[in-house]
Structure 1
């Protein structure tokens, strides 16, 4: 908006005001809209999927779409759902099943991309445990009961004939950071974590340097490799991405701008991992730049546009729905769930 309209002490002539209102669209910003939005609010968890959103907010990557871009963190899936349904954010990083569930329940969600394809490990004190079956009979701290990553763990255990409740002692905790704290303080020996909590736990216990004689913690079962082995597919899971909610969904050019900016920011984060870590640590408590850089190095991050990811998502959703249809609201999301970009896709790896 023109600065004169923001200053109540400035009096415009009627001719000047009419001239501003009648300005041709050709003179508008590159998005082809009459004016940028006042603000776009981006939101995400303390996970690696949020790194590009933070970079977008800090660098003004959406300056043609909005006068201001801000990032805010959500702590758990319940807060995420409240933000999505209460209009507290415009674009949220979220697990793919949560996005599909919200869409099927009429909450108004448009998936823009899937960008996290592998960031789940069981971190353990026993370096010999490398597959999920190796943890049979053990206690495992697991965050977000009934949500990602718990649902991936249960799916993979069931696929190999194991019962998550009878064959394991699952200790549910509210968040990944609480699971990590239990592990670091030796109250559990194994925890299911996503990045960057995995790398943070290794850093805090000095388990990261190559050649350390007796590291305290180890990367145990890689859930992405387990997925590939058990499902006979590529070792990648369409775990999370970004989705638009609320009124911004009616502006496809803004959605294109967000999707393109996210892919560019993801590429920057991969090329500048430590600086990306510094940005992320400024917004999310407990994280350190070094742990974020470690996480970027090992996570499968690729900003695949929603429409291009649909086939892999529907396979994943189909696996989830077989035992628990309510995870997705009882059905696969329709075509309207997937944002169809009008621009040439820019992949995060480019």
Structure 2
């Protein structure tokens, strides 16, 4: 089944980058061998499990789970729907119509701390943020001092990562840069491609899509138009003397599904397998994402898969990295994570439990 995504006209209240559509599950592509371990605990499969995520790599495994009917042991039907911005994400998390959401890690903590009923299953996006630039000589964040940078999602990821990294280097985002906030990553990319800005903070696969659209990739062209400038993962590792990995986003269970450990185990295990499938089959992953979100080209997604740090780490195993990350955010604005570090109940038990 094929579905179209389109760019709607701007309105005075909000410019939309993508129109989003829930897609029903396709016929199964494979029969999951893991089902026996969890199906016994789920004697009555749920009628449907709804997965949701943004037009980013963190959603690719969710799309694959829906397309391959990977949860057939615990649900009769699996669907994927997309969210377009953090406001819609928050409404979906509290609306009771979605079961599993891909979301930024700080949003998951914030919702949990505010009593919204969120259990983190894993962190899978560990590195997907770059300042894309027209100036090949600008390689570090400090090189952009005084420059205008298009930044999406004011007050959310990736803006907050930019703020933390700037502050750690003695820079102030508002004073030392000219930030042009835009509602969505796609709009930041479009400003860059149409030469209305020279630099934009983008996340994959938007980075690779911008490079592909301007014929700046594959590497080797005589005069590429755009370049990967500051790698925020490398900046993070350098300024904090840590591994260049950011616990940026993962998946979380919301609502009543949180009370069904066998289903949560099946979701976590299926997601990890779908991450492995995406990494082993980057072009097929790109073709799949293109069917769901036709603005994303297969080639750009394949580039993004090979470049990004896509690794499904269980929530408990990621807790140390998350708490360090949350602590840095809280030093700037405690409200970013709901005023405190999440307690142990935020982190799902291991899928094998």
Question: TM-score, with normalisation over the residues of structure 2?
Answer: 0.89
**Distance in 2 between residues matched to 1:179 and 1:99, nearest whole Å:** 24
Which residue matches 2:190?
181
Which residue matches 1:61?
70
**Distance in 2 between residues matched to 1:100 and 1:146, nearest whole Å:** 15
Q: Deviations over 1:302-350 (max 9, x none)?
A: 1000011001100000010011001011000010000012507xxxxxx
Q: Which secondary structure does the structure 2 equivalent of 1:307 belong to?
A: coil
**Distance in 1 between residues matched to 2:245 and 2:38, nearest whole Å:** 38
Deviation at 1:211, TM superposition (A): 1.5
Determine whether 1:291 maps to 2:303: no
Count residues in correspondence. 318
Q: 1:263 aligns with which of 259, 262, 272?
A: 272
**Distance in 1 between residues matched to 2:40 and 2:251, nearest whole Å:** 20
Q: 2:324 aligns with which of 315, 325, 349?
A: 315
Which residue matches 2:201?
192
Which residue matches 2:25?
none
Which residue matches 1:203?
212
Q: 1:108 aligns with which of 110, 117, 120?
A: 117
Determine whether 1:79 maps to 2:88: yes
Q: For residues 31 and 226 of structure 1, do their structure 2 counterparts lie closer, same or farther at Cα, with a shift above 3 Å needed?
A: farther
| 8 Å Cα contact 1:199-1:291 kept in structure 2 | yes
**Distance in 2 between residues matched to 1:243 and 1:117, nearest whole Å:** 16
Q: 1:238 aligns with which of 239, 242, 247?
A: 247
Q: Which secondary structure does the structure 1 equivalent of 2:316 belong to?
A: helix
| 8 Å Cα contact 2:38-2:265 kept in structure 1 | no
| 8 Å Cα contact 1:73-1:284 kept in structure 2 | no
**Distance in 2 between residues matched to 1:112 and 1:67, nearest whole Å:** 21
Which residue matches 1:20?
none
Deviation at 1:35, TM superposition (A): 0.8
Determine whether 1:281 maps to 2:290: yes
**Distance in 1 between residues matched to 2:149 and 2:255, nearest whole Å:** 38
**Distance in 1 between residues matched to 2:352 and 2:193, nearest whole Å:** 46
Which residue matches 1:119?
128
Q: Which secondary structure does the structure 1 equivalent of 2:318 belong to?
A: helix
| Larger radius of gyration between Structure 1 and Structure 2 | 1
Deviation at 1:29, TM superposition (A): 7.4
| 8 Å Cα contact 1:31-1:254 kept in structure 2 | no
Which residue matches 2:58?
49
Deviation at 1:284, TM superposition (A): 1.4
Determine whether 1:94 maps to 2:103: yes
RMSD: 1.2
Which residue matches 1:18?
none
Which residue matches 1:325?
334
**Distance in 2 between residues matched to 1:342 and 1:225, nearest whole Å:** 31
**Distance in 2 between residues matched to 1:172 and 1:304, nearest whole Å:** 31
Q: For residues 93 and 31 of structure 1, do their structure 2 counterparts lie closer, same or farther at Cα, with a shift above 3 Å needed?
A: farther
Q: Which secondary structure does the structure 2 equivalent of 1:165 belong to?
A: helix
Q: 2:140 aligns with which of 106, 131, 148?
A: 131
**Distance in 2 between residues matched to 1:30 and 1:141, nearest whole Å:** 47
Deviation at 1:213, TM superposition (A): 0.7
Provide structure 1 residue ranges, at least 5 long, that are not aligned to the other structure: 1-26, 345-350
| 8 Å Cα contact 1:113-1:242 kept in structure 2 | yes
Provide structure 2 residue ranges, at least 5 long, that are not aligned to the other structure: 1-35
Deviation at 1:236, TM superposition (A): 0.4
1:34-45 superposed matches below 5 A: 34-45=43-54
**Distance in 1 between residues matched to 2:321 and 2:186, nearest whole Å:** 29
Q: Which secondary structure does the structure 2 equivalent of 1:118 belong to?
A: coil
Question: TM-score, with normalisation over the residues of structure 1?
Answer: 0.89
**Distance in 2 between residues matched to 1:275 and 1:129, nearest whole Å:** 33
Deviation at 1:28, TM superposition (A): 12
